[in-house]
Amino acid sequence: MAMNPLYPKLSKLLSLTLAAGLAIAAPLRADMNSDLAFTAFAGKPVDIDSLAGGQIQQERGSLLDFQRGISVQSLYIIDAAPVDVAHKLLTWTPANHSELKVWMHLSLPAKPTAADFSGLGTLPDNGSVGYLLNGTANLDPDNPSLQISKAEAQGITALKAQNLDKKTLFVDFWSQVLAGRIDNFLGDKFATANYAISGGDILPFNEITSLIRSDPKVYADYHPLFSQTPLYASSKLAPADLYYECFDVEDYSTLGTGAIYQITNGTAIQSADIEFYLCSGIYADVELEKIWPVTVNGKTETLVWREDLISTANVAYLHGMERLASISLMLQDVQQGVNAFRAEFK
C-alpha cells in the first residue's frame, strides 16, 4: 500500500510480468476448493454472487502458538483485472481515507537516505501526532520509551545540543532512525536488529517469522515468495515498493517502514506487505494478499484473499472472551480498510 512509486520502470515491468504470467496460465475462474485449501475458508461455502455484490467474508486466523500474535482473514471481489488490483496494492495510499487514521504514507527510492524522509515534516497538527512529537522531544537516551535501540536513542543527544525546535528535532531524528532501519532490512543486519522494551529486547525479525510460520498451510503456500525476501534470502528479490508511514494506534501515532513483494504463483498473484519496523504500539505487521481471476456474469473480476497478522504486547496476555473481542475489533478494522481499498476502483 504505497503512493506514487519513485521507480516507475520497476512498476511497469512488474505489471507486464504479472499480466504475461496470467495470460498464459489461468482460466478466467477460481477453483474454490483447491485455491482456498490453504485458508480459513477451506471447506466453507463461498457465495461468489454475494462477494461480487460487495460482501466481505471474514474468518479469524488460526489459533497462533505465538503469544503476541493475532490474525484474521478476509475474502472479497473487486470489479477489476487481477493485474490492476496487484498494481493498486503498490500505488494506493490509505492516507487519502480519513476514517483509517493514516496521517501519512509515502513511497521511497530503492536505497533511501535520511534526506528522503522530508514527509515527516508534513504531518498534521493533531493530538495523536502531538503525543509522538512530545515523546520524541522528551526521549531519555539512556532509557528510551519508544521502540528504538539504545544506540539509536543516543543520536538525539547531539540533535538536542543544536537547540532545534520540536518539529525539526522530530524530523531529523526519525529520518536517521528510519533510514537506518531500512538499511538493516535490505542489508545483512535485519536478523539481529533489535530495540529495548521494559520486558527485554524485541527482534522484529523474530516477530515476523513467528507470525508467518504460525499457520503451516499459509506459510507453505507463501514460501516461494517469503524465500526471496530478507526474511530468508541471501540474494533478495527487490521490493516492488518501499514506504514509510505514520498512523494512529489507540490515539498515539506510530511511525513505520515497510516493503511490498509480489510474484506470480501458478494462476494467482501473491503480495506480501511486511512492515518490519514500528516505533510504538505494534512490534510487526504483515498483510498478505492472493488474487485470482474469476468470472462474474461473464465478466472477468478479481477474487482477493487477505490475511492480516500483527504482533503486539496488547494481546499477549489475553485469553478466552477478551482475545475474541480483540479479534472482533481487528476484523472491523480490516473490513474498513478493504472498503477503502475497493473504493479506489469506483
With a cut of 70, which residues of the chain have pLDDT below it? 1-31, 62-65, 198-199, 235, 314-326
Q: Looking at residue 1, what is its pLDDT?
A: 45
122 and 50 Cβ atoms separated by less than 8 Å: no
pTM of the shown model? 0.88
User: DSSP per residue over 212-281, as a string?
Assistant: HTSSHHHHHHHHHHHTTSTTT-SS-PPPSEEEEEEEEETTEEEEEEEEEEEEEETTEEEEEEEEEEESSS
Q: Looking at residue 329, what is its pLDDT?
A: 81
Q: Looking at residue 324, what is its pLDDT?
A: 52
139 and 129 Cβ atoms separated by less than 8 Å: no
The predicted-structure confidence for 210-232, as pLDDT tens digits, reads as follows 999 999 999 999 999 999 999 99
Q: Which of 169, 152, 151 is nearest to 160 (CA)?
A: 169
Distance CA 305, CA 273 (A): 14
